[in-house]
Amino acid sequence: PAIGANQIFSLSQHWYTAGSGVGLQTIECGWQVYPGLYGDGRPHLFTYWTADGYNSTGCYNLTCSAFVQTSSTFAPGMAVGPISVSGGAQYSMELAYWLTGGRWWLYYNGTSGSNAIGYYPVSLYQGGPLASKATEIDYGGETVGTTSFPPMGSGAFANQGWQRAAYQRTIGYWPPTGGAMINASLTPSQGWPSCYTADVVMYAAPWYETLWYGGPGGT
């Protein structure tokens, strides 16, 4: 989505969370269009974390020493592409976090060992709830502006569907006790339906739980 004057960023992400209030802990990933951070209008792979409700901890990507990059090919903050075209070719990327051995590993475009690009050590969470598991995962978009808010997703509302609206598909999680991925059962939330909407649909394989979301933004 294009970021205009008096607008800051638009993103699509997963929020893995535990705790609440000043004790909220998160680990996040997705794509983000943020000219003020990246110096261009392209979407970038991003990560973020906080251990205290965004008060004194947390940073994007590699801007602090929290994320440990292990890949020599992919890194948080990199531009991603090619980009989907409205009414034309559609492209997606696969993202997942997996907690094992005291590390929250981030996987990009697959979940085999070779797709792990780095990790957040659980020591960042100082013995808090996210050091052992997430209790909730949220999926969707977020925008920030001043006098106006930018488009979310592709800029199309959720009901525009395939080749128009942005989506996240095959949404699920691995239980802390281990085992196969469990399909999500999401409840849509859309606080500003005149600007952005969200629809959740459970499809057959391979899409399964799917979120359609987005909109043009506004004032």
For 144-193, the pLDDT digits (tens) are 999 999 999 999 999 999 999 999 999 999 998 888 999 999 999 999 99
Q: What does the alpha-carbon distance between residue 62 and residue 118 come to, in Å, rounded to a whole number?
A: 11
Q: What does the alpha-carbon distance between residue 21 and residue 24 come to, in Å, rounded to a whole number?
A: 5
Predicted pLDDT at 178: 85
Q: Is the pLDDT of residue 106 over 90?
A: yes
Q: Is the pLDDT of residue 134 over 90?
A: yes
Average pLDDT, rounded, for the chain: 96
Helical residues (DSSP H) of the chain, grouped into ranges: 35-38
Per residue in 65-88, pLDDT (tens digit) is: 999 999 999 999 999 999 999 999
Per residue in 19-68, pLDDT (tens digit) is: 999 999 999 999 999 999 999 999 999 999 999 999 999 999 999 999 99
Predicted pLDDT at 176: 85
User: Among residues 142, 136, 185, which one has the least CA distance to residue 16?
Assistant: 136
Backbone angle region of 3, left / alpha / beta, with phi > 0 → left and psi within -120 to 50 → alpha: beta
Average pLDDT of the residues in 215-219: 95
Catalytic member of 94, 136, 142, 209: 142
Catalytic member of 28, 94, 136, 209: 28
CB atoms within 10 A of CB 57: 16
Q: Answer yes or no: 142 catalytic.
A: yes
pTM: 0.94
